[in-house]
Amino acid sequence: MTLLTTIFAAIICTIIWYRDAPKSEMKVGHLCWMFWGASLMWLIDAIIEYGELGAEYFTPAPVDMLNDFYLGLSVVALGLVIWLVILLVKDPKGVVKAALFTKK
């Protein structure tokens, strides 16, 4: 469920990135790299788990599924927070700079 949540986040971010490319004012590319990187790593975890459990891997207990989804959402939230910090520090639109200085 964590893998699935992250993959969906990666797909949505990639679509948003492609729609706005080649401009990258919102720096959505950072989110794409982050979510795709994590998705690929969790894919390995999933493959290893599938190797151990077999078909049982696809029928998790509802509690485990809910916990994994909760983790997935938390991971997406953390990714968004990291992206927001990068966006505000890099400030490609100069919004933070404009808020700190008033024109005479």
Binding site for another protein (CB under 8 A): 2, 6, 29-30, 33-45, 47-48, 71, 74-75, 78-79, 82
Could you tell me the smallest distance in angstroms from the CB atom of residue 19 to another protein?
Answer: 19
Residues 6+ apart with CB under 8 A from 78: none
CA distance 93 to 1: 36
Calculate the alpha carbon distances from 94 to 12, 29, 31, 37, 87 in Å.
Answer: 26, 18, 20, 29, 10
Which CB sits closer to another protein, 45 or 56? Answer: 45
CB of 62 to another protein, least distance (A): 19
Nearer to another protein, 86 or 91 (CB): 86
Closer CB to another protein, residue 8 or residue 36? 36
Q: Cβ 37 to another protein, closest distance in Å?
A: 3
Distance CA 80, CA 15 (A): 16
